[in-house]
Amino acid sequence: MTGEASGGAGLDLHSHLEGRVRPATAAELARRLGAPEPDRGWAAALRLEEPGDLTAYLACVAASYPLFQDPEAVRRIAYEAVVDAAADGQAHLELRFGPATHVTDRHGLDEVVRAAADGVQEGAAATGVPAGIVIAALRHHDAETNERVARAAARAAGSGVTGFDLAGDESRWPAHEPFAAAFRIAAAAELGLTCHAAEAAGAAAVADAMRVLGVRRIGHGAHLAEDPEALRRAADEGVVIEICPTSNVWTGAIPRVEAHPARAFLAAGVRVVLGDDNPVQTGSPLSAERAVLRERLGFTAAELARLDADALDAAFLTRDERRSAAALLGRR
Ligand SMILES: [Zn+2]
């Protein structure tokens, strides 16, 4: 793949490893691992049928979880995710991954994290597209589990793991306080910090995540524009919102992509970057999300260039990787 990447889809700063399993790979891995095939087949099981709520959306993503119980499978899925990102024209891929869900009696946290990190590093080497794993703590796990996850992420910092996130069902577990210690561990290891917030919860979740977890990058923020004061504060404090418009329709955060608050964010001076969240489930990879911005949310060429510049600035990249991502973007 080296040399074929165009960077035309931009930087993907919000995408989940568990949401990037190729259906053909799922079928093959399931056979090898002895995991039962879903009644409808893998392609249908991994694809959402109709917009619902965050709980239903996450249940569809979880259809792939049996495949993540094997580190070699995790490594392959991560490798293929970077290959697919390169084929989609992405100039950088940040892959979120919640390892605690995939720990078994035979494979501990470090091994699971290492498998994902090895896969992205091999994918990046094969394609020339910089990529990293953003380890996700999960809202439904207890504080101690998430602190163990943070320590495993810290041990892999600088070798494929680049950041730390909080993901999961915000509608059922909205509080941030239980996760503060895990974020302190990640920050001490100099991992980049981000947090899913105001996806299912209200605008106040953004300021709360900033104050409690120390993040300046926010995943989704779909409800942030509903509170003008929260929006103004986000602009003042240089918050970067990782927008994923199509995902927000599927989770029921917004009724249709035209209702996405991206233009309100721009008008308020809030920086936005783009992600495709779970592209296998939604059928919308980053290149399609970029088309949504251009064709349905009216982003001009100048606004897309601004988004790319903000993404390069906010990405969890080393200086050399940033240069590579910028070069890929410039090749457009
Ligand atoms: Zn997400």
The pLDDT score that the predictor gives to residue 42 is: 96
Q: Is 199 a catalytic residue?
A: yes
Cα–ligand 1 centroid distance for 14 (angstroms)? 6
User: Angle at which helices 71-87 and 23-33 pack, to 10 degrees?
Assistant: 170
50 Cβ contact partners less than 8 Å away, ≥ 6 residues apart: none
pLDDT in tens, 117-165: 999 999 999 999 999 999 999 999 999 999 999 999 999 999 999 999 9
Residue 1 in any domain: the answer is no
Cα–ligand 1 centroid distance for 138 (angstroms)? 11
- The count of domains in the chain is 1
The pLDDT score that the predictor gives to residue 291 is: 97
DSSP-based three-state secondary structure for 142 = coil
Residue 3 in any domain: the answer is no
Residue 2 in any domain: the answer is no
pLDDT in tens, 180-215: 999 999 999 999 999 999 988 999 999 999 999 999
The pLDDT score that the predictor gives to residue 3 is: 37
Domain that holds residue 23: 10-327
Cα–ligand 1 centroid distance for 133 (angstroms)? 13
Nearest to 133 by CA among 92, 103, 101: 92
Cα–ligand 1 centroid distance for 10 (angstroms)? 18
Residue 108 in any domain: the answer is yes
Strands (E), 98-243: 131-138, 161-167, 192-197, 217-220, 240-243
Out of 199, 242, 289, 321, the active site residue is: 199
The pLDDT score that the predictor gives to residue 5 is: 52
Q: Give 1's pLDDT tier (boundaries 50, 70, 90).
A: very low
DSSP-based three-state secondary structure for 60 = helix
CA atoms within 13 A on the CB side of 14: 32
CATH for 232: 3.20.20.140
Residue 4 in any domain: the answer is no
Q: What percentage of residues in the chain have a pLDDT greater than 70?
A: 98
pLDDT in tens, 247-301: 999 999 999 999 999 999 999 999 999 999 999 999 999 999 999 999 999 999 9
How many CB atoms are located within 10 Å of the residue 13 CB? 29
Residue 98 has pLDDT above 80, yes or no: yes
Angstrom CA distances, 39 to 46, 57, 64, 233, stand at: 12, 19, 14, 48
77 Cβ contact partners less than 8 Å away, ≥ 6 residues apart: 17, 20, 21, 25, 29, 67, 68, 119
Cα–ligand 1 centroid distance for 167 (angstroms)? 7
Nearest to 132 by CA among 123, 140, 143, 141: 123
Residue 5 in any domain: the answer is no
DSSP-based three-state secondary structure for 178 = helix
